[in-house]
Amino acid sequence: AQTVTQSQPEMSVQEAETVTLSCTYDTSESNYYLFWYKQPPSRQMILVIRQEAYKQQNATENRFSVNFQKAAKSFSLKISDSQLGDTAMYFCAFMKRGMDTGRRALTFGSGTRLQVQP
Amino acid sequence: DAGVIQSPRHEVTEMGQEVTLRCKPISGHDYLFWYRQTMMRGLELLIYFNNNVPIDDSGMPEDRFSAKMPNASFSTLKIQPSEPRDSAVYFCASSDQGNTEAFFGQGTRLTVV
């Protein structure tokens, strides 16, 4: 079974600053995907960024980037130039890779509540 | 596409009553997931379907919970009888075989009093 750990229950950052959210995971799989999902106060779960474990290059999406360390099983999210709209819960998630239909569910971490201060 | 549609958005019911949550996945998606979110347990998978067939229901808490997917455009999650500990936000999500992204609905906040 997979486990995902987010050790920072809450974080705060000033607008325009940079913040890094931590995530570690444990798995015996060699091929998998990692995700960061954002949940704003509206409750909607929104995909922020995705990393394929077989790719060494870290994924980036505009102001969002990850630091993926496969050997250390670490997957942190960096938010640059933080904006008020980034205030939300952030969830790290794991999914096995493969065409088997039994490999498609997400395992989530407990979340980090990020508050962006004006 | 309007995205994943869940109904109702909010449900308040009395202990012992039957509750039915509904979900319409994105057209063309062949995976449908039900997740539950609570403060104590976070986001946990209850059950998921592929092409309307249940693939993994190991997260369904007990026999009081049941889920069906009679066709590709509709799924229900039923709790009978409901208990206060079932109070949570229930999310439905869908995805397709060729894309790892799961698209979530707005969730149903269930309160059992």
Q: Which two tokens stand for residue B34?
A: 């039900």
pLDDT tens profile B44-58:
999 999 999 999 999
* Upstream peptide bond of B8 is cis (omega within 30 degrees of 0): yes
Average pLDDT of span B22-51: 95
User: Can you give the pLDDT at residue A101?
Assistant: 67
Q: How far apart are CA B55 and CA A3, in angstroms?
A: 20
Residues of chain B with C-beta less than 8 angstroms from the C-beta of A95: 100
Q: How far apart are CA A46 and CA B105, in angstroms?
A: 10
Average pLDDT of span A48-60: 94
Span of A30-34, A102-106, B41-45 with lowest mean pLDDT: A102-106
Q: How far apart are CA A13 and CA B83, in angstroms?
A: 39
Are B101 and A46 within 8 A, CB to CB? no
Closest-CA residue of B relative to A33 is B100
Q: Within its chain, how far is the Cα of B95 from the centroid?
A: 14
Are A16 and A84 within 8 A, CB to CB? no
Among candidates B75, B76, B98, B107, which has minimal Cα distance to B9? Answer: B107
* Probe site for chain B from A48, A106, A108 (most B CB atoms < 10 A): A106
Q: A42 to chain B nearest CA, in Å?
A: 8
Q: Which two tokens stand for residue B53?
A: 């067939």
Q: Does B100 touch chain A (CB under 8 A)?
A: yes
Q: How far apart are CA B37 and CA A44, in angstroms?
A: 12
Closest-CA residue of B relative to A42 is B106
Q: Which two tokens stand for residue B37?
A: 């979110």
Q: Does B48 touch chain A (CB under 8 A)?
A: yes
User: Per-residue confidence at B99, pLDDT binned at 50, 70, 90?
Assistant: confident
CB-based contact A110 B42, cutoff 8 Å: yes
Mean pLDDT (chain B, rounded): 95
User: Per-residue confidence at B1, pLDDT binned at 50, 70, 90?
Assistant: low
* Probe site for chain A from B38, B100, B108 (most A CB atoms < 10 A): B100
Among candidates B45, B73, B74, B76, which has minimal Cα distance to B61? Answer: B45
Q: Does B52 touch chain A (CB under 8 A)?
A: no
Query: What Rg, from alpha-carbon coordinates, does chain B have?
Result: 13
* Probe site for chain B from A36, A45, A46, A97 (most B CB atoms < 10 A): A45
Are B66 and B57 within 8 A, CB to CB? no
Are B33 and B93 within 8 A, CB to CB? yes
Span of A48-52, B95-99, B108-112 with lowest mean pLDDT: B95-99
Whose tokens are 């999914």? That residue is A95
pLDDT tens profile A12-37:
999 999 999 999 999 998 889 999 99
Among candidates A25, A37, A95, which has minimal Cα distance to A61? Answer: A37
Q: Which two tokens stand for residue B47?
A: 């059950």
Q: How far apart are CA A7 and CA A23, in angstroms?
A: 7
Q: Does A50 touch chain B (CB under 8 A)?
A: yes
Q: A108 to chain B nearest CA, in Å?
A: 6
